[in-house]
Amino acid sequence: MTDLQALDALFADRQDTWWDGFYAQRAKPVPFFVDAPDESLVEWVTGSPSMPGRALDLGCGNCRNSVFLARAGFTVEALDFSATAIDWAQQNVAKAGVSVHLSQASVFEWPGPAQPVDLICDSGLFHHLPPHRRAGYVERVASWLKPGGTLAMTCFKPEGGSGLSDEDVYARQSLGGGLGYTEAQLRSIWGEAFDIQVLRPMQAYAKEAAVFGLPFLWAMRARRSVP
Ligand SMILES: C[S@@+](CC[C@H](N)C(=O)[O-])C[C@H]1O[C@@H](n2cnc3c(N)ncnc32)[C@H](O)[C@@H]1O
């Protein structure tokens, strides 16, 4: 076991098996248990003259964003380490009649796409990573994107997260439901490898809407810096 894996083991509420239980009841009132894609992703994809291409959905859950990307013309690969999420994703993809290549894997164990992609979507994965995984995650995401490729991410604003500091997280051995980030923190974490083009609160939408958005989430669009 590596040092990073030993630290991961401290967080029982962030293992794939914890997420399996989370996805076991699909009727639960979880805001993102919907069919609708992120409003920000829709805005950026439909508003771009140069997309589509190849896309990767990290921590895809039920694949609501992958289905949108496939319908928009992307060749989509999606992964999630939860088996029950992948089961649900498979059913949604089949129901939508689109093609998405699904893998059940941790982002830290997956070997990466066959070739760098044009777009990476992370809707709600990053804020569930413990602090010791942040730098490695940014490195992976950057290496999986083409230079100039786009990262479309949503994550908790401070008011959306648990309010725990990095020190609290290790003392309690829990992320307490996910970590909130300030704008300055996101710029510091992502700003070296990426050119942050948009960082705004998501627009709020009702659960039945055709797109998904909650005001306590950031929507960040970042371009992988060209060396
Ligand atoms: C908040 S959910 C969001 C799901 C989906 N993106 C959506 O917006 O509907 C976070 C997802 O990330 C997945 N996840 C968390 N850590 C992961 C990891 N290290 N590798 C792969 N998936 C992970 C969880 O299983 C879960 O499906």
CA distance 53 to 86: 23
Ligand 1, residue 129: give the atom nearest the CA. Answer: 16
* Residue 37: closest CA among 84, 109, 100, 83: 100
Is 117 in contact with 135 (CB distance < 8 Å)?
Answer: no
| pLDDT reported for residue 12 | 82
Residues in CB range of 1: below 8 A, 6 or more apart: 9
Measured from CB, residues less than 6 Å from any atom of ligand 1 are 19, 32, 59-62, 64, 80-82, 85, 106-108, 123-125, 128
User: How confident is the model over 8-31, as pLDDT tens digits?
Assistant: 999 987 789 999 999 999 999 999
- Residue closest by Cα to atom 20 of ligand 1: 106
- Report in angstroms the alpha-carbon separations of 97 from 79, 103, 127, 147: 18, 18, 31, 31
32 CA: nearest ligand 1 atom: 9
Report which ligand 1 atom has the smallest distance to the Cα of 64.
9
Neighbours of 199 (CB within 10 A): 16
> pLDDT tens digit string along 116-161?
999 999 999 999 999 999 999 999 999 999 999 999 999 999 999 9
**Minimal-distance CA residue to ligand 1 atom 19:** 106
Please report the domains of the chain, with CATH numbers, ordered by start residue: 3-24+37-224 (3.40.50.150)
* Residue-level pLDDT at 92: 98
Distance CA 179, CA 160 (A): 8
Distances (CA, A) of 204 to 32, 87, 96, 171, 222: 13, 28, 25, 34, 21
* Inter-residue contact 89 to 102 (CB < 8 Å): yes
